[in-house]
Every structure is written in C-alpha cells, then in structure tokens.
Amino acid sequence: METRNLRKERVGVVKSNKMNKSVTVSIERKEKHTMYGKFMKKTSTFVAHDESNDCNIGDTVRIMETRPLSKTKNWRVVEILERAK
C-alpha cells in the first residue's frame, strides 16, 4: 500500500468568491522584524478549489494543499469553520 505525504493545512478568511468553483483565501501571520524586533502582520493569499461554490466572503475556512488544478490553484477547501456574520 502506498503512503501519502503529509499535506500542508492552513486556516484563513475568504476574501473573494467571484470565480466559479474557486475562492481567494487570505492567511494572516505575525513575523518579527529582524532588526527592530517589532511584530508585523504579513498576509498571504491562496486560490483554493471550492467544488460546491459554498463559501462566501468573510467565512473562515481550512484549506489543504493538493495537486495543481490550474495555473494558480493548488489548494482546496476542506471545511468551513465559521460562517460570516
């Protein structure tokens, strides 16, 4: 039996759902400045596959790495953790 490699998982907020079966997920983290030591907010955006077109803007979702599905899309939505209010 083959063993699968561990896949990265991230939790982020949906910023755009205008594409068909795709969402843009923004992930925020804090990084310490190398010289000054101040913590700064850094954001990364990922395009994720949403098969059921179920996500809305502001939802908190868990995404998982997957094979490349298009030029920019190699993540998929695993679950919606919290709906936008």
Domain extents in the chain: 9-82
4-45: pLDDT as tens digits? 788 999 999 999 999 999 999 999 999 999 999 999 999 999
Tell me: pLDDT of 2 over 90.
no
**The pLDDT of residue 3:** 79
Tell me: pLDDT of 75 over 80.
yes
User: Residue 3 and residue 24: Cα distance in Å, rounded?
Assistant: 30
Q: How many CB atoms lie within 10 A of CB 28?
A: 10
User: Residue 28 and residue 3: Cα distance in Å, rounded?
Assistant: 31
Which tokens go with 5? 């490699």
Place of tokens 């939505």: 77
**The pLDDT of residue 58:** 97
Q: Which CATH superfamily is domain 9-82 in?
A: Nucleic acid-binding proteins (2.40.50.140)
